[in-house]
Amino acid sequence: MTYPGFVWKNGMRNKRRAILTMMSVALAVFVMATLVSFVAQLDRNMNEASPLRLITRHAVSLTNSLPERYRAQIEKIPGVVAVSELNWFGGIYIDEAHTDFAQFACDARTLFDVFDEVRIPPDQKEAFMRERTAAVIGRRKAEKHGLKLGDRITIKPRDIPIDVPLELTIRGIFEGTVNNEAQLFFHRDYLEEVMGRPGWVGTYWIRVDSPESVSRVSETIDALFQNTEAPTKTETERAFNMSFVSMLGNLKQLVATISGVIIFTLLLVTGNTMAMSVRERIREIAVLKSLGFHRGEVLRLLVAEGVLITVTGGLAGCLAARVIFGWLDLGAFSLGFFQQVDVTWPIIAAGLAVSAVVGIVSAGIPALRAANLTVAEGLRHVG
């Protein structure tokens, strides 16, 4: 019998206890991998923000609107390349379960000038700009819902005070970011017409010509409307996104605290299991030592059994997290703002490392005590 086979056979001697321990480790590592992946995905979303994009919103609250006349004044500011209004619609596509993408009313003429990293065929872009009820959607969401060019969709209002749904035609499918190809854009003119032309804008999205212009343009915009009925707050896209994340508190500290508690609890559970396993085999260990096994060999054997159990459980937990979140689309649970959690291979490697450390620590202490017993003490032991 090979050494790994010998370790596995001994580790699985009490199958029920070993499997329950593996399941405990798998669940704990699954939770840790999920939390860490969630924070890592938020960081990736932050890094996708363009350093040349600014967002102007109402200074009091994002729920307050701005007059549409502000746009003409913003466009005259030196350094401003493009401006597009975005109005959050928040409607329902088919039902709640299918509404996993955000919808925004925009200025079709300048949308892709502001989001210049987005790729869309020129003919689709032109078709979108020409037709009042046209819409464009990200490729990932189009493929998920089976949407193609020319399809008509209905978006029922939920957060907007109108009585009729929006009837839209898909005229373009874009690729690139804009939150991982997970948003739908349609004409703000169409929304204004349906709402009776109130003339209000949710946010202005602005692209500037250089990083040096960011601070100057931001300050100029806010100073321009400081003493009006609708004062503004202008910030970078990254800062704007961070304002949503900050509502959740200090996530990194929270995740670190929860992970620490999970590891400590896991150590208690696995430590108790390993101690029981070693205590039941004291006389067997004494026999091994009488046959010529050295103290170090016995110690390595027992620790290897513990590591085998915890790493197997940790691997199951990590792979389960990767498979589940690779399949699960979170858009419907986050109003389309947050789409997925990517459990990367480095996170899986970290989960396996934690599992191995837990196995070494939990098995190491009882294994060290057993390895230090003399043959006579071991043979006299009563389990």
pLDDT digits (tens, 9 = 90+) for 135-144: 999 888 888 8
Closest CA to 273 of 180, 201, 366, 211: 366
Alpha-carbon span 26 to 275, nearest angstrom: 20
Low-confidence stretches of the chain (pLDDT < 70) are 1-11, 47, 96-98, 159, 161, 177-180, 244-252, 278-296, 298-299, 328-340, 367, 370-383
Q: What is the pLDDT of residue 50?
A: 79
Q: What is the pLDDT of residue 118?
A: 87
Q: What is the pLDDT of residue 218?
A: 92
Q: What is the pLDDT of residue 329?
A: 61
> Letter for the amino acid at 124?
Q
Q: What is the pLDDT of residue 1?
A: 58
Q: What is the pLDDT of residue 336?
A: 47
Q: What is the pLDDT of residue 233?
A: 92
Q: What is the pLDDT of residue 239?
A: 82
Q: From the CB of residue 217, how many other CB atoms can be counted at a distance below 10 Å?
A: 21
The three-state DSSP-derived secondary structure of the chain is CCHHHHHHHHHCCCHHHHHHHHHHHHHHHHHHHHHHHHHHHHHHHHHCCCCCEEEEEECCCCCCCEECCHHHHHHCCCCEEEEEEEEECCCEECCHHHCCCEEEEECCCCHHHHCCCCECCHHHHHHHHHCCCEEEEEHHHHHHHCCCCCCEEEEECCCCCCCCCEEEEEEEEEECCHHHHCEEEEEHHHHHHHHCCCCEECEEEEEECCHHHHHHHHHHHHHHCCCCCCCEEEEEHHHHHHHHHHCCCCHHHHHHHHHHHHHHHHHHHHHHHHHHHHHCCHHHHHHHHHCCCCHHHHHHHHHHHHHHHHHHHHHHHHHHHHHHHHHCCCHHHCCCCCCCCCCCHHHHHHHHHHHHHHHHHHHHHHHHHHHHCCHHHHHHCCC
pTM: 0.70
